Structure 1
């Protein structure tokens, strides 16, 4: 089964820029059956001194705080809370514009970068641009922290629960009205069918 997180793509993209930036490192966090193949890919590109698979780390925020850029090469995200956590630490994020999340969180060029899914060249270019632009990284980092605060408020669990409770209360209140409307619609449809039948005689 292919890895939706696409750490392989991230390694490939980093391999494109690593020779020009030997003082930069790629740290990959997480666990799974892809560890062996990913290490082989790191070795294949001669990135042993610049890339490392560090396993699961919890909490992850202190690691984000050490980073200059956080990258996500995923094909899909359930929402992208990891992106919000990184941005909350004042770190710009480079992410694929995959479904369900990144484009709702990141404003391209303002608090991070969005690149097409599966596009190694676009990913490496976005990373290289941020590596070369320290003032831009800092500016995006400040914007990312502000955006994360807005996202955290928007997706705060208590706020979401309140929204659902309001929705259920409204549905309960309007249930009889909606039932009458459906009944009327069925009656009108039945009447229309009868009229068509009578008219066909």
Structure 2
């Protein structure tokens, strides 16, 4: 078998947990190799995207800064989706190296492992920032109670999604399910598909 599904998912979620905490103290880094390098890079784009989204919602930020933030969000979101595909490609390589092939009649899943890893990444960010809310000194007990309830739900969702990913990886290894890489094809970032971009290019020419 190419990997232990349970151990792999634990490694992924631990990476996401550890780096979220570390990146709030130092600049984002990526000291990992192989699949974990790709997981970390995708997670890093979510980290950067999260904080740009916070800026975009501040009423004190001017229009020029909002425009800069919007462009940054578009770029990070495109990179985030590109790396979801790269994670799926890396998993396909692991399966191919182990000569794992889908069985006749193998089914497709509604989302790929890369998409599930992306959701776990976002959940790790949400849990970290929810925990920050518990440490605030300018809020009352009712606020802390509400945040605590949200954190509990986040942990349940994280545990459920982690287990579902383990089960999907096991099904891929057994050949019961097949994995395909679906290209996101974000039209708004493609100069040949976004009318405002290709019409603008024609005018500029």
Please say whether Structure 1 and Structure 2 have the same fold, judged by a TM-score greater than 0.5. no
Larger Rg over CA atoms? 1
Normalising by the residue count of structure 2, what TM-score does the alignment of the two structures yield?
Answer: 0.26
If asked which structure has higher relative contact order (CA below 8 Å, sep 6+), I would say: 2
How high is the TM-score relative to the length of structure 1? Answer: 0.26
- Which structure has the highest strand share of the two? 1
